Structure 1
Amino acid sequence: MPDGHSPISQAMVLAAGLGTRLRPITERMPKPLVPVAGRPMIDYVLDLLVEAGVRKAAVNIHHFADQMEAHLARERRLAILLSDERQELLNSGGGLVRGLKLLDCEPTLVMNADLFWVNETATPPALKRLAQGFDPERMDMLLLCVPLDRTTGHNGKKDFSLGSDGQLARFREGLPAPVVYAGAMAVHPRLFSDAPDGPFNLNIYFDRAIASGRLHGILLDADWITVGTPEAIAEAETVLGRKAG
């Protein structure tokens, strides 16, 4: 994996989802603002981005967009640009493409707003390693991945197999090194120059990159937390409590 590439100072945060599995909590607030150990989930995400040196982030909003806008207006550590999807929810791919248009056409960190990690042991931290390792000449996307046994709140699905050369393939039984996509990646916006207008799923580009040998991954060495259901909040708070203790 190449090292020493220029730091990445901008990010796109995917925060517009409906959070249907978190109902009834998300019937009164957007999923990224659901509190975990007294803090909205998205604040943990912003912590990680700030730690990595990100100075500007686009954030897409749809569900309870006014609440998101008010919360993000209080953020002072980095500049927030809102990608407004009030009129139409654009799915993971469409939302990403619209948000990237608010940023510079240069390598960008992309992160989901409803997951984060704690107790990281590797140095430099994962998002900095993503930035350093991303080589747009050889890669379409560099994904942060996590072993299943380091996940909390996950449904058990294995997403990819991580090869010894750093390339990713869709996981199927019999392949080595199964990993879960940790919801963070590095990408160059030019990858989406041919993207369709409107909603589409980002998996289209994952599969295209796999077919051309340009989907790569690195491992997260931390406790990875996703909160998809009300029951998962308590599990997440237990992990965070271990950190605090």
Structure 2
Amino acid sequence: MKITNAMVLAAGLGTRMRPITNSMPKPLVAIAGRPMIDYVLDTLVAAGVERVVVNVHHFAEQMESHLAGYRGLEILISDERAALMNSGGGLVKGLKLLDRSPAFVMNADLFWIGEKPGGRTNLEHLADVFDPARMDMVLLCVPLERTTGHNGKKDFSLGADGRLKRYADGDPNPVVYAGAIALLPELFDDAPQDAFNLNIYFDRAIARGRLYGVEMAGQWLTVGTPEAIGEAEETIRRFGNASGEGA
């Protein structure tokens, strides 16, 4: 299916990135000369997304100023200055600014490089797999060996039929959640209106056999600490992709 709406979760405090985030929001921390969130926004543009909601809290004015200068997307702001809503609450609040059509959800500090030039992007693959009749959500996933900056935790086991379950020691085909989802906003019609963690809906979908995953192409990067910046930049140099093209 074609997905033209998206939500980017960008309101966190970035506590592990201190002292850098004592004066700026984590999504604006530069990696290879570009703010992290720009890699994410470029990924959405490459997949044909037209409209994106970004939630803001920490140094919200800096985020708004930067996003106002980004070209290629209609960007709407979900303001969480008054109170952080956690991943689930922030998503529910932000999706209200979009219509009811399918949407991508992405984290502002997780991105990837090394997709095949001219081929189907990872998000297009995610959209093609998403079938609301069988799935609550489909998550982009990556094997641990194709991650940079990750803590080594295995999030899910990816079944041969595409279903995901929480990883337990010894499970086959362990994967890391790569920070991108395809879903329908109506999934959250019964959601709380205050802060809650999105993992509640992951576990609910697993219990119903409706959480699916697809394995991404390329190398996945997460930058959680100041020390991880250099590792991410070295990976980008290694892939010859410091411009962010194909991110």
Task: Please state which band the TM-score falls in when normalised by the shorter chain.
Answer: over 0.9
Residues 1-245 of structure 1 mapped to structure 2, 5 A cutoff: 5=1, 7-121=2-116, 123-244=119-240
CA distance in 2, matches of 1:146, 1:89: 28
> Structure 1: which 5+ residue stretches go unaligned?
none
> Structure 2: which 5+ residue stretches go unaligned?
242-247
CA distance in 2, matches of 1:162, 1:119: 22
Measured after TM superposition, the shift of residue 243 of structure 1 is 2.1
Amino acid aligned to 2:25:
P
CA distance in 1, matches of 2:218, 2:91: 26
CA distance in 1, matches of 2:138, 2:158: 12
TM-score by length of 2: 0.96
Amino acid aligned to 2:236:
L
Measured after TM superposition, the shift of residue 244 of structure 1 is 2.1
Amino acid aligned to 2:6:
A
Equivalences, count: 240
Amino acid aligned to 1:235:
E
Measured after TM superposition, the shift of residue 75 of structure 1 is 1.3
**RMSD (Å) for aligned C-alpha atoms:** 0.9
Identity %: 67
**SS at 2:84 equivalent:** coil
Moved over 2 A (4+): none
Amino acid aligned to 1:144:
L
